[in-house]
């Protein structure tokens, strides 16, 4: 057993012990939650309830409505305000590499025991107990391991939630973070009762017409720089208004840009329609193993993975373009 493997095994046991000993929990994830964040949130809630624990899920009200892809998930029980007994609860952060990605003061400033369960390589290890597996394809994969360690029987509900996390973070098993471990997990989840086709259709084949109009705008506005290494587009507040789309409908647009031949970095810059902390959100994807977009995002207090990251900024669109061009020059 390598030193890294031994450390991970110890962290897994420590988190399992905290869960066994605790009685009341609050679960949360990062802002602008994706499929892995939401799937992990639901799966952890089901795991705790199967153990007879008191579990509540928290997401800030500003996260709703969720992107249309995720609205089929059973999130009716999510709290938008802290429970009265918050001080007595163990807080579990899921898929959150940096506590600042959960911009809620009461969660950052409390004295609760914090379990930090994540797979981002730039995780700041902000928890009282940290379980960070950078070799896992997604946080859902870590929770799958935790299910076995805790002796919880995997239910169809847990399996569906974990499967959403798995397929969204691996890009339907097409990203380089996919490995044999991911496929073994998928097989076990399917055997438990996951509706593979139904889940795929809910995630990827329920787009409203307004989204397609917004996608068309975004694709029409693509610009390329640095001999095509950077492919970037800008989605403005006018685009939302004129297409009838909302900001959550930008989900997935960046995947179109990363398919352009010769692209090393794909970027989508979008106006924040919800009055967020920054004027714009920037999503980044790398198709070149030499480019670490999480390092780029961290320069603006963002984060993510080497191949997928994002940040908020008050820079103008031309300034973002110049910043990214400089970063490409420095990394390639």
Q: What is the pLDDT of residues 104-163, one digit of tens each?
A: 777 777 789 999 999 998 899 999 999 999 999 999 999 999 999 999 999 999 999 999
Mean pLDDT, range 29-52, rounded to an integer: 96
pTM of the model: 0.88
pLDDT digits (tens, 9 = 90+) for 48-102: 999 999 999 999 988 888 888 999 999 999 999 989 999 999 999 999 988 877 7
Between 139-150 and 180-192, two packed helices, what is the crossing angle to 10 degrees? Answer: 60
Q: Which domains are delineated in the chain?
A: 3-203 (3.90.1640.10), 209-331 (3.10.310.30)
Q: How far is CA 316 from CA 226, 280, 323, in A?
A: 19, 8, 10
Between 35-50 and 139-150, two packed helices, what is the crossing angle to 10 degrees? Answer: 10
pLDDT digits (tens, 9 = 90+) for 7-23: 788 999 999 999 999 99
pLDDT of residue 294: 92
Q: Which of the pair, 135 or 276, is modelled with greater confidence? A: 135
- Outline where DSSP puts E strands in 236-332: 265-271, 280-286, 303-304, 308-313
User: Would you state the torsion angle of the CA atoms of residues 20, 187, 138, 178, taken in this order, to the nearest 10 degrees?
Assistant: 150
């Amino acid at each position: 057993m390598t030193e890294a493997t031994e450390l991970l095994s110890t962290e897994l046991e420590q988190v399992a012990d905290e869960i066994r000993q605790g009685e009341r929990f609050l679960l949360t994830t990062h802002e602008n939650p994706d499929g892995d964040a939401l799937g992990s949130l639901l799966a952890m809630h089901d795991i705790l309830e199967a153990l007879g624990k008191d579990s509540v899920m928290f997401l800030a009200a500003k996260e709703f409505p969720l992107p249309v892809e995720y609205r089929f998930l059973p999130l009716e029980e999510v709290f938008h305000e802290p429970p009265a007994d918050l001080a007595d609860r163990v807080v579990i952060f899921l898929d959150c590499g940096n506590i600042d990605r959960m911009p809620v003061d009461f969660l950052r400033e409390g004295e609760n025991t914090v379990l930090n369960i994540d797979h981002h390589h730039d995780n700041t290890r902000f928890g009282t107990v940290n379980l960070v597996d950078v070799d896992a394809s997604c946080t859902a994969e870590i929770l799958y391991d935790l299910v076995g360690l805790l002796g919880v029987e995997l239910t169809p509900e847990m399996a569906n939630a974990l499967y959403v996390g798995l397929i969204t973070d691996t890009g339907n098993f097409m990203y380089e973070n996919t490995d044999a471990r991911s496929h073994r997990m998928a097989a076990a989840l399917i055997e438990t009762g996951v509706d593979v086709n139904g889940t795929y259709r809910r995630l990827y084949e329920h787009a409203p017409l307004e989204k397609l109009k917004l996608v068309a705008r975004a694709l029409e506005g693509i610009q390329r720089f640095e001999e095509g290494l950077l492919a970037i587009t800008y989605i403005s507040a006018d685009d939302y208004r004129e297409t009838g789309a909302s900001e959550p409908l930008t989900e997935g647009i960046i995947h179109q840009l990363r398919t352009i031949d010769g692209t090393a970095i794909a970027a989508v810059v979008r106006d924040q329609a919800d009055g967020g902390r920054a004027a714009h959100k920037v999503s980044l994807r790398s198709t070149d193993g030499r480019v670490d977009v999480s390092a780029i995002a961290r320069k603006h207090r963002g984060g993510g993975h080497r191949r997928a990251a994002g940040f908020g900024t008050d820079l103008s669109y031309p300034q973002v373009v110049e910043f990214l061009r400089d970063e490409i020059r420095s990394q390639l």
